Amino acid sequence: MKIVLSGGGTGGHIYPAIAIANYIKEQNQAADILFIGNEGGMESKLVPRAGYPIRYIRVQGLRRRISLQNLKTAARLVTSFGAAKKILREFKPDVVIGTGGYVCLPVMLAATSLKIRALVHEQNVFPGLAVRLCAGRADTAISFPETEKYFKKPPKRLLLTGNPIRPELLRPAAETKATGEPLVVISGGSLGAQKINDALIELLKMGGQDYYGIIASTGERNYEAVMQKIRDEKIRICDNKKILPYIHNMDAVLQSADLAVTRAGAITVSELCALGKPAILIPSPNVTNDHQTYNARTMEKCGAAVLMPESELTAEVLAGQIKTLLSNRSHLESMAKAARECAITDACARIYAWIEESNQ
């Protein structure tokens, strides 16, 4: 079995591809897997680190406004299509799987032009441009049922698979809370989020917040600035509040949490549902098509989260919402139950079933 995987630009496209590759290897050690990515992209570091070979094409993203740069993008799409076609002819894969991002588009187009079975996977509720352009040619895997209505034309074939969930996330927690008090996890993602960090600092200054613990991640690049501001303003940090640059054991921390305050990336939302964690979701306003708001709405709609637009985020509003949720244990439990009911935890198995079906 020979498989090509392609996806890049952000970790949200690359990590699902790696998760799929790992699952394939677990099921079939003899599987021959090749990644195709963009040289200089995140995939050029993450894929080799995961132990997989990767070949490169040169492609770049489309600007969302009128720009001469888009002429260069179009030219590179043509050349990268040819380069991808050459790689596929040499490798001769049985199937090609794309997980989104602009690098995925020429690979998927090359695969379908060569009559190779292809599947494009969308992580977010609102499908990205590459996925929308491929959907009429390749089979399309979606992570949320609502995604179907956002295609102008029906995809060639639609599969509901969910997002690949890290296996370690679903294992029993190795750590538990040291006390019986509620625990709130606050994170703006791996890079951090300025507005969330600002609200966190103000939250720590407010009185009446001692009854719950906090484990907060500021992002590596923001940590020193946050801690300096805390020192400058002489903010007292209670023993049950931990401020970290990055939460390395996020799996264990989330499993122990009573409430999460996070962005609304597709993988984050899927993992919160898989763990059954109530959340206050603060979508990033700086993403294409405002797709994090679509992700947050789907969790809010099923009763598992509160959507808080970043424009409305203040320490007072956040503190009030945390208090409202933590003070109503039965409501928090119903949110947790709703989250679990929304979860799809076997995405990789569903995708692997498609691979086996394609090879029959």
Rounded mean pLDDT of 300-308?
97
CA–CA gap between residue 205 and residue 208 (Å, rounded)? 10
Rounded mean pLDDT of 48-77?
70
pLDDT at residue 173 above 70? Answer: no
Length, in residues, of the chain:
360
Residue 40 confidence (pLDDT)? 81
Rounded mean pLDDT of 154-174?
86
Asked if domains 2-164+345-358 and 169-342 share a fold, the reply is yes
Residue 39 confidence (pLDDT)? 83
Cβ neighbour number for residue 130 with a 10 Å cutoff: 28
* pLDDT, tens digit (0-9, with 9 covering 90-100), for 197-249: 999 999 999 988 889 999 999 999 999 999 999 999 999 998 999 999 999 88
CATH topology of domain 169-342: Rossmann fold (3.40.50)
3-state secondary structure of 4: strand
pLDDT at residue 351 above 90? Answer: yes
- Find the angle CA(308)-CA(314)-CA(319) to the nearest 5 degrees: 85
Residue 70 confidence (pLDDT)? 47
pLDDT band at 174 (very low <50, low <70, confident <90, very high): low
Q: Helices 315-326 & 194-205, crossing angle to 10 degrees?
A: 70
CB contact at 8 A, 106 and 81? yes
Give residue limits of the domains in the chain.
2-164+345-358, 169-342
Homologous superfamily in CATH for domain 2-164+345-358: Glycogen Phosphorylase B; (3.40.50.2000)
Residue 90 confidence (pLDDT)? 98
CA–CA gap between residue 340 and residue 146 (Å, rounded)? 17
State how far Cα 358 lies from the chain centre: 27
What are the start-end ranges of the E strands in the chain?
2-6, 32-38, 54-57, 95-98, 117-122, 139-142, 157-160, 183-187, 213-217, 241-244, 259-262, 279-281, 305-307
* pLDDT, tens digit (0-9, with 9 covering 90-100), for 264-284: 999 999 999 999 999 999 999
pLDDT band at 76 (very low <50, low <70, confident <90, very high): low
pLDDT at residue 49 above 50? Answer: yes
pLDDT at residue 12 above 90? Answer: no
* pLDDT, tens digit (0-9, with 9 covering 90-100), for 101-160: 888 999 999 999 999 999 999 999 999 988 999 999 999 999 999 999 999 988 989 999
pLDDT at residue 64 above 60? Answer: no
* pLDDT, tens digit (0-9, with 9 covering 90-100), for 19-28: 999 999 999 9
- Mean per-residue pLDDT of the chain: 91
Rounded mean pLDDT of 306-323?
97
CB contact at 8 A, 266 and 189? no
Q: In this structure, which amino acid lies at residue 23?
A: Y
* pLDDT, tens digit (0-9, with 9 covering 90-100), for 82-105: 999 999 999 999 999 999 988 899
Return phi, psi of residue 53, to 5°.
Answer: -75, 150
Taken in order 123, 269, 64, 148, the sign of the CA dihedral is positive
pLDDT at residue 62 above 80? Answer: no
Rounded mean pLDDT of 72-82?
71
pLDDT at residue 41 above 90? Answer: no
